[in-house]
Copies of this chain bind each other. A is one copy, B any other.
Amino acid sequence: MSLVRVHNFAISLDGFGTGEGQSADLHFGHAGDRLHQWMFATRWWSPGGSSGVDDAFVQRHEPGIGVEIMGAGKFGHPGWHEDPDWKGAWGPNPPFHTPVFVLTHHTRPSIEMEGGTTFHFIDASPAEALAAARAAAPGQDVRLGGGATMIREFLKAGLVDHMHVVVVPILLGRGVRLWDGLEGLEKDYKIETVLSPSGVTHVTFMRAARN
């Protein structure tokens, strides 16, 4: 069965998936790179990195995935839709290598990039976006790429099968919260927590079998 998966989604101890003040230079606003230093320290990111639990988790984001859905805020900083040449911040060969559906109220023609990534722009509900993504990669899993707002909307719609959240022990104080309005989410999931020597905590949500 095709699953909907979230991987490596980092939040602060106070629940923010991004800081305030996102811009072209600061993709995560005032959080800077503090939510992702654990990832940069893995072997997956750089050859001298660690090959422990952080690396094990980070590497799971790709196998089995045939398509990604991302929010407009991941595709670019606020205002990107006013730039007709904007193709994301990943350069000519983005690291997705699959179709990518960008959720936006400002749709535009699809953009084919090098390396197998094609960006499609849709103004759609979570369920509609998921149907489009599954049609583009039959039988394969769908990754939800973030940010916090779109993941929260998919959670509220009951559409997430697997979610891996990384809690980083910092307090951002402001930004976009992942958890708002998700009371009782634990009832639908088996939750497993694993601590890494790096100081981050990996929290995995696995959907209980559907009736």
* Interface positions of A (Cβ within 8 A of B): 13-15, 169-174, 179-186, 191, 193-195, 199, 201, 203
Q: How many copies does the complex hold?
A: 2
* Chain A interface helix/strand/loop/mixed: loop
Please indicate the chain B residues that have their CB under 8 angstroms from the CB of A15 in the complex. 14-15, 179
Docked-complex contact B170 and A14, CB < 8 angstroms: no
CA distance A185 to B14 in the complex (A): 11
CA distance A174 to B184 in the complex (A): 11
A173-B169 contact, Cβ under 8 Å, with A195-B195, A201-B201: no
| A179 to chain B: closest residue by CB | B14
A169-B182 contact, Cβ under 8 Å, with A14-B15, A203-B13: no
CA distance A191 to B183 in the complex (A): 27
Partner of A201, one of B172, B179, B180, B193: B193
User: Can you pick out 24 interface pairs between chain A and chain B where the beta carbons lie within 8 Å of each other?
Assistant: A13-B179, A13-B186, A13-B203, A14-B15, A14-B179, A14-B182, A15-B15, A15-B179, A169-B191, A169-B203, A171-B179, A171-B182, A171-B183, A171-B184, A172-B183, A173-B181, A174-B183, A191-B199, A193-B195, A193-B199, A194-B195, A195-B195, A195-B201, A201-B201
